[in-house]
Amino acid sequence: MNRRSTLIDELNIDSSITLKESSKICLRNLAAHKPRFANRRYPRKRCAAVLVALFVGRMGDLYVILSSRAKTLRTYAGDTSLPGGKWEEGDEDMEDTARREAFEEIGLPIDRHRVPLLCVLDPFLARNQLIVTPVVVLIKDNTLEPVLNKAEVSQLFSHPLRSLLQTTAPLTMSTLIPAHPYLAYQNPDTHYYSWYDIKWHIGKTPVRMHTFLTGREDQGMKPLLGLTASILIEVAEAGYKRAPSFAKFAPGEPPRHERIKYAMVNEPLLAQAAQEDGITEWLARSKRKVDNTVQQARL
């Protein structure tokens, strides 16, 4: 029997963990999830992975572990994020990359029994021209203690996974910034906003991003936003099998895989890495479709 298919049964045997029925369904759905583009090649030098580590809370709900990046980092300093980083020589796949980075950043053991794989999602395109693959795992052993790499991570906390599909704050969130709802539309030049349109390179077609308050903003921590928020929305969608109660996409927003193809043809770092990895044949076939997508977006 497939290892992932027995996860929920094993958790039910553990008397210390009581799963809600909705959490059981979510885990089963995630364990059965298959990425659409699993066989697509991407340039390894521009690949990265993040670990979406879920665990079961005391009331049987699913939570995701988040970290606050150290404020001394050169990029994304202080951001609320998922553990992860770039692919390195020796990593067999993106799961290896995500697990290695999580071990280095927060001390999560590379133990496929205590922290089994649930699924891998199709990749996302980051602003720095990295192709980021989310790897979803379940922490079965709630006695594991984090070991933070203070040079990279200043703090760990958790957030209810289901709340990434709603516009209202979870009941566990007692503190919110006055006049800033959990998820609310504001201008992109303000610090707190729920989603806004960014002009990407595909013509004038916008890409919508989202921000969720975590209830820790009064402690100087940043909200959950951007790529991290987009990834977690998709994890929650795949698990709970329902769309969010807010607008996920901007009008006319192109599919994520089309944006990645466009970037691999037109963005210098990605295009050069693709050439070095010998992915030119796939790019040649894709270029015509990409050009058509750009032309339609400009109409």
Closest CA to 95 of 139, 45, 133, 65: 133
Q: Where are the alpha helices (DSSP H) in the chain?
A: 7-13, 21-32, 94-106, 226-240, 256-266, 268-276, 280-298
Q: pLDDT tens for residues 90-119? A: 999 999 999 999 999 999 999 999 999 999
Q: What is the pLDDT of residue 187?
A: 37
Residue 222 falls inside a structural domain? yes
Closest CA to 219 of 175, 179, 153, 169: 175
Residue with tokens 């992975």: 49
Residues 47 and 268: their CA atoms lie apart, in Å, by 15
Residue 177 falls inside a structural domain? no
Phi-psi region of 66 (alpha: psi -120 to 50; beta: other; left: phi over 0): beta
Residues 288 and 56: their CA atoms lie apart, in Å, by 46
Write the CB contacts of 181 (distance below 8 Å, at least 6 apart in sequence). 167, 169, 194, 213
Residues 20 and 61: their CA atoms lie apart, in Å, by 6
pTM across the whole model: 0.87
Distance (Å) of CA 91 to CA 44, 47, 87, 268: 10, 11, 7, 25
| Token code pair at residue 125 | 């395109």
Torsion angle in degrees (nearest 10) through CA of 160, 235, 102, 75: -90
Closest CA to 259 of 244, 247, 273, 249: 249
Residue 81 falls inside a structural domain? yes
Residue 71 falls inside a structural domain? yes
Number of structural domains (the chain) is 1
User: Which segments of 75-199 are extended strands (E)?
Assistant: 80-81, 84-86, 117-120, 124-125, 131-138, 153-160, 195-199
H or E element that contains 151: none
Q: What is the pLDDT of residue 168?
A: 87
Residue 50 falls inside a structural domain? yes
Distance (Å) of CA 163 to CA 76, 158, 213, 214, 244: 24, 12, 11, 10, 9
Q: Can you list the residues of the chain whose pLDDT is less than 50?
A: 1, 185-204
189: helix, strand or coil: coil
**Helices 256-266 and 280-298, axial angle in degrees (round to 10):** 110
| Token code pair at residue 220 | 């100087």
Q: pLDDT tens for residues 140-186? A: 988 899 999 999 999 999 999 999 999 988 876 655 565 677 885 43
Residue 64 falls inside a structural domain? yes
Residue 36 falls inside a structural domain? yes
200: domain CATH number is 3.90.79.10
Q: What domain range is 116 assigned to?
A: 9-164+183-284
Q: What is the pLDDT of residue 39?
A: 84
HSE of 199 in the Cβ direction (CA atoms, 13 Å)? 3
Residue 1 falls inside a structural domain? no
